Structure 1
Amino acid sequence: EKRPQLSRLRRLNKIISVSEPSEKNYIIAFAEIERIVAQLGLPKTIAEEAAILYRKAAKKRLIKGRSIESMAAACIYAACRMHKIPRGLDEISGSARADRREIGRSYRLLAKEVISKVPPSKATDYVPRLVNTLNLTAEVEQLAIKIIREAYSLRLTSGRMPKGLAAAAVYLAAILMNQKRTQREIASNANVTEVTVRNRFKELMEKLQFIVIV
């Protein structure tokens, strides 16, 4: 009687010793996800989706050789893309406890092994939030989206970062609607460089043939 009981206890002890570290990792990961989501002002659905993705990644042993923090941040980035909430890697890494490169590597692995299809970010996805943070009107938003769609139709977007194009379109639309903001303001709120805004703006001006006094 004692021997089978002892055997069961040994098996139970083995199960507990294996499961405890993983449960501890989940607790750390979910706390990190909640912290980043709160800091970025993201909806709860993103935290929930990111937690599901993290569990899937852990079950496939994708965390091995990577930090919990980088995979947690990568899951948030993926969840944002899946729900079409525009947040760039730079923005997420700014709130994460892992660097951008490490998060990027974790995301690529996650996209390959866990997520079947993640819709690519579009420049138009970034416009509403950017317009809102700059206190611009709905007219600026509508015009910026029209500018971006025209740029897509003329194939001006190939190889261009979506949020850089969005920033330039908002900058141009704001000027045209007499609600001008500086390139520095636009760049800071879009989380891109002033050089990016300036270069994309010049391309839009040349190809779309706008005449604007800056």
Structure 2
Amino acid sequence: MAYAQPFPLAQPLQKVAAPTFGPDLAVRLICPECRDPNPNIVEEFSSGDLVCGTCGLVLGDRIVDTRSEWRTFANDEGDDPSRVGAASDPLMDGMEQLDTNISFKDGGSGLAKELQRANHRAKGASAERNLLEAFRQISHWCETFSLPKTISDIAKQLYKRSDEEKLLRGKPLDAVIAACIFIACRQAHVPRTFREICNLTHVSKKTLGQCYKALEQAFNLTPGASQDTRHAHTPNATTGAEDLLVRYCNHLDLPVNVQPICADIIIKARELGIADGRSPVSIAGGAIYFTCCLLDKPKTVRQISEVAGVSEGTIKLVYRLYYAERVRLVKEEWIKDGKARLDRLPVESGSK
């Protein structure tokens, strides 16, 4: 071996062999009958043959069609870019790929009823049909509530997991779906209250709360896991009160400068322990009324009550708590800039 000695002897130089050239791999297909150097070879995908366009000799068979996978079903001539089906959904596990509907028209022979019965048995077990129906209902409710597709996907995934684990056996389907949508809104940080979900799905608050608590315990979906610690740890506290201001101020058609000032007032009140224990919806309604009076943007208690979905008395109660601590809640810079004036705040909590 070369490493057997410390200093191996130098080996004589070897002559470099001349490069060899291999055959030309650019094979040209020529018809053996025509012998034309410029052959007219046609690929007939309908029959899978490779045919000479001059003499018609079949040069090959079983040709693979490498074109796009769609077909043209249009009555007019031209390309039809319609696909053969929709994109597969990973949550469906292929259950939505094939679906056949049997017509009721059979000319009075009675075959349509038999075909429908056979098709119904071939569609699979009832669990798969229930899953498909639940997914359709989740998509419909999310579109009705103007929720993004992300929330719909999270709700579907949560429903499928709960269905596989049999967590809510015996509960109404509407209540289970409503709880999944509520949790999906929390996970995606899209503020929705219990009242809004109940009004959307027509599910009672008690039933929705039972399904919500069951899913929360099963999947460890504690409020602190998906929300900030500033939020109240109650089922109604889907998010902080300041997170509800954007929608409420938009529905009330308030100027853009009202929402940030109102959010600062809510945060300051939370630090001071004002209105602790109240629901975020009540705090948001009372804070909006307090801010509107402070900035001279008149909105009645009734208008705020209709948007927030709480009673006028609740809004007045929160306003009284804020009014008692108005000196500590209102920043001095707002008063110096002329944005806010404490004398605009009515002593009574009635509507202006």
Residue 170 (1) aligns with residue 170 (2): no
Cα offset, 1:35, TM superposition: 2.1
**How far did residue 29 of structure 1 move?**
1.6
2:149 matched residue in structure 1? 44
Residues 164 and 200 in structure 1, CA contact (< 8 A), matched pair in contact too: yes
Please name the residue that 2:298 is paired with: 180
Q: Spell out, residue by residue over 1:142-197, the C-alpha distance to the aligned partner (whole angstroms, 9 max, x if none).
A: 11001101111101242110111011111111222221211111111112121211
Greater mean deviation of Cα atoms: 127-136 or 200-209:
200-209
How many pairs does the alignment contain?
Answer: 198
Q: Does the CA-based 8 Å contact 1:28-1:68 persist in structure 2?
A: no
The CA RMSD measured in Å over matched residues stands at 1.9
Aligned-pair CA distance for 1:28 = 2.1
| Greater shift in the superposed pair: 68-77 or 55-64 | 55-64
Q: Which has the higher contact order (CA 8 A, sep 6+)?
A: 1
Deviation at 1:86, TM superposition (A): 1.5
Larger Rg: 2
CA displacement 1:35-85 (0-9 Å, x = unmatched):
221222111111111111111111221120101110100111111112221
Provide the secondary structure at the position in 1 that maps to 2:167: coil
Letter of the structure 1 residue corresponding to residue 151 of structure 2: I
Match for residue 213 of structure 2? 108
1:204 aligned partner: 322
Please list the CA deviations of residues 98-155 of structure 1 after superposition, one character each: whole Å capped at 9, or x if unmatched.
2221111101111111243332421111011111111111210011001101111101
1:150 paired to 2:255: no
Identity across matched positions, percent: 27
* AA aligned opposite 1:101: K
Gaps of 5+ in 1: 1-15
Secondary structure of residue in 1 paired with 2:125: helix
Residue 32 of structure 1 is matched in structure 2 by: 137
Work out the CA distance in 2 between the residues paired with 1:52 and 1:188.
34
- Distance (whole Å) between structure 1 residues aligned to residue 323 and residue 202 of structure 2: 40
Q: TM-score, normalised by structure 2?
A: 0.53
For 2:168 and 2:126, locate their aligned partners in 1 and report how far apart those are by CA, in whole Å.
Answer: 13
Q: In terms of mean alpha carbon deviation, does 164-173 or 32-41 score higher?
A: 32-41
Name structure 2 gaps, 5 residues minimum.
Answer: 1-120, 232-238, 328-341, 347-351
Give the distance between the partners of 1:174 and 1:59, measured in 2 at CA.
Answer: 50
Secondary structure of 1:138's counterpart equals coil
Distance, in Å, in 2 between the alignment partners of 1:177 and 1:86 is 26
Amino acid at match of 1:93: C
Describe the superposition over 1:8-57 as per-residue Cα deviations: whole angstroms up to 9, x where unpaired.
xxxxxxxx99x722212212222221222122211111111111111111
After the TM superposition, which residues 107-146 of structure 1 pair with which residues of structure 2 at under 5 Å, given as runs?
107-118=212-223, 119=227, 120=231, 121-146=239-264
TM-score normalized with structure 1 length? 0.86
Between stretches 100-109 and 27-36, larger displacement belongs to 27-36
Would the aligned equivalents of 1:56 and 1:114 in 2 still touch at CA under 8 Å?
A: no
CA distance in 2, matches of 1:141, 1:63: 40
**Separation of aligned partners in 1, 2:289 and 2:242:** 14
**2:188 is matched with which residue?**
83
Moved more, 109-118 or 159-168: 109-118
Q: How many angstroms apart in 1 are the aligned matches of 2:151 and 2:193?
A: 14
Q: Residues 36 and 62 (structure 1 numbering): CA distance in 2 closer, same or farther, change over 3 Å?
A: same
